[in-house]
Amino acid sequence: MLIHEYLSRTATRLPEKTALVCGKLRASYRMIDERAKNFAAFLRTQELERGDRVAVFIDSSLETVVAIFGILEAGGCLVIVNPSTHAERLGFILNDAGAKFIVASVEKLATVEQALKNSSLPARPGIILTGPAEDDDRYMSFEQVTNTLLPFTPVKIIDADLAAIIYTSGSTGQPKGVTHLHRTINSVVDVVAEYLEHTENDVILGLLPLSSSYGLLQVLVTFKTGGRIVLERGFGYPYEIIQRLKDERVTGFAGAPTVYAIMLKLEGLEREDFSHLRYLTNAAAALPAAFIPQLRKIFPQAKIYLMHGLTECLRTTFLPPDEIDIKPTSVGSGMKNVELWLEDASGNRVPQGQVGEMMVRGSNIMQGYWNDPESTAKVLKPGRYPWERVLRTRDLFVEDEDGDFHFVAREDELIKSRGEKVSPVEVEDVLYRLDAVQETRVIGVPDGVLGQAIRAEIVLKENRTLTAQEVKAHCRKNIEDFKVPHHIEFVDSLPKTQGGKIKRTEQQ
């Protein structure tokens, strides 16, 4: 199935149903489908060819969703750029992808022009602006073209065609374009919709940037099953988001640990009625086990799904919610149509109970990094069949006796101290048991004697106090001596990626 068919088929089945809520705007499936087809027709009149890349550089909105489906309907390849991206990085992405068009908001026009100043593209991309129309023939109006009915002839594409390039950061710090086909994305959407038991009655709160695979999948799963997505631009005003969650009777909510950390410090939530919330999901980073009972107090009826995934394979595992009390540190086993195992540095499979790098085999794997065969060769290796490749995730796990996986660390984040290997996640889990801790990160820092010393950086909850001595005493009671942080630093905030994950390396 092709990705844009999610919209067209649901619009045929449920034309007047509200598909999207953004602020005060409410849009039906029919409206979004009509505008997406108008945009597709316009792109074809502008000589967009099958596989041409179109960048989308706007905040989560109706326009973003219309652009996504319109680009795919026209046979183009979607390149969503995080709206907080600076000009230098945007310029790299536009050049690397070879963007033929860019859809941007008027507010971001200066950033776009700065990004294009040193462009190496053979031709200047067509710039299509959302918002008030510019009186300049160098720009086109997104509102005008999506509200203009043009004859549209469906484009002949197949599920082996490129659907999206999702840019992420590699070990060098340069963005890497992860390539996914229509069938790659569709295979994951189907499985996620199945295990989350999605129906047209679901109302999903979308806080995550659509430039991330986690955020994009929320929209796609919702549109394929006929639900409703409530788009928000992050979690900057937590109490307003909570009110929106209640007003819209949200049934599904996806977050990263940083979002849940903010939510858990809000006062009075346990007295609110969230009986409509059916599930919470966590991916992107390990959810501290200490968060689970706290979330249960606020959302007693919601199932909590712990999952693992990365941009290169979208999603790999989920832990059934009824097992979370038994295995709060596990992300479960491989989802349907995905085979997982662990290998050591020499490529040998490691037995259960030992640390190894997760390998992924299945239809969810990327085709490679766009324009980067060298980096691709490092993470895609020969598989069982001559034509097959499997993915190295660079994520270290331990597999238990039931075949469930427990995250240890990213390969480049594992701390090596005093000849021992220390998982930063394990130490962070212990720190989160301290009631005064709002957020924390544990990293290794160079040390002439230890190799790496363990440093814990801690953000305290408002009006709470804690000393380094208290932190170390707590750790000594709960983990081995060699895992106790050598340095404790209390900070006002932690560095985060554009997607809201806490950074442990400068390259993220």
Please give the chain's pLDDT, 508 residues, in tens: 999 999 999 999 999 999 999 999 999 999 999 999 999 999 999 999 999 999 999 999 999 999 999 999 999 999 999 999 999 999 999 999 999 999 999 999 999 999 999 888 999 999 999 998 778 889 999 999 999 998 888 889 999 999 999 998 644 467 899 999 999 999 999 999 999 999 999 999 999 999 999 999 999 999 999 999 999 988 878 899 999 999 999 999 999 888 898 899 898 999 999 999 999 999 978 899 999 999 999 999 999 999 999 999 999 999 999 999 999 999 999 999 999 999 999 999 999 999 999 999 999 999 999 999 999 999 999 999 999 999 999 999 999 999 999 999 988 888 998 888 899 999 999 999 999 999 999 999 998 888 999 999 999 998 899 999 999 999 999 999 999 999 999 999 999 887 778 887 755 5
Nearest to 185 by CA among 213, 204, 215, 156: 213
Task: Return the number of other C-beta atoms located less than 10 Å from residue 233's C-beta.
Answer: 15
Nearest to 284 by CA among 263, 305, 262: 305
Which residues have CB under 8 Å from 306's CB, separation 6+? 282, 287, 318, 319, 324, 328, 330, 331, 332
Pairing type for strands 355-362 and 338-343 reads antiparallel
Pairing type for strands 415-417 and 405-410 reads unpaired
Beta-carbon-side half-sphere exposure of residue 507 (alpha carbons within 13 Å): 11
Predicted local confidence at residue 498, as pLDDT:
74
**CA distances in angstroms from 136 to 63, 87, 107, 128, listed in the order given:** 21, 21, 15, 12
Cα 336 to Cα 190: distance, rounded to the nearest angstrom: 10
Q: Order of strands, edge to edge, in the sheet holding 101-105?
A: 139-141, 126-130, 101-105, 53-57, 77-80, 162-169, 175-181, 368-369
Nearest to 179 by CA among 168, 171, 191: 168
Cβ–Cβ under 8 Å, residues 307 and 331: yes
Task: Return the number of other C-beta atoms located less than 10 Å from residue 338's C-beta.
Answer: 21
Cα 86 to Cα 193: distance, rounded to the nearest angstrom: 34
Tokens 């005008």 belong to 144
Cβ–Cβ under 8 Å, residues 81 and 167: yes
Residue type, 220: L
Tell me the two tokens of residue 360. Answer: 């992924």
User: Could you please report the per-residue DSSP string of 466-493?
Assistant: --HHHHHHHHHHHS-GGGS-SEEEE-S-
Phi, psi of 186 (to 5 degrees): -60, -40
Predicted local confidence at residue 132, as pLDDT:
86
Tell me the two tokens of residue 506. Answer: 């400068």
Angle CA 216–221–403, to nearest 5: 90
Predicted local confidence at residue 170, as pLDDT:
45
Cα 101 to Cα 347: distance, rounded to the nearest angstrom: 42
For the chain, the maximum distance between any two Cα atoms, rounded to a whole number of angstroms, is: 72
Element (H, E) at 31: helix 29-45
Predicted local confidence at residue 171, as pLDDT:
41
First vs last C-alpha separation in the chain: 33
Tokens 């999903």 belong to 204
Residue type, 44: R
